[in-house]
Structure 1
Amino acid sequence: MLAAIALFFLLREHWAHVSGNWVYLILLLCPLMHLFGHGGHHGGHRSNDTDSEKR
Structure 2
Amino acid sequence: MLRRLRTLFNLRSAICGNNSKGQYDLVVKRVHESEVNCPPFSCIITKVIYLFI
TM exceeding 0.5: no
**TM-score, length of structure 2 as denominator length:** 0.32
Could you say which structure has the larger radius of gyration?
A: 1
Normalised by the length of structure 1, the TM-score is 0.31
Report 1 or 2 for greater relative contact order, CA contacts < 8 Å, sequence distance ≥ 6: 2
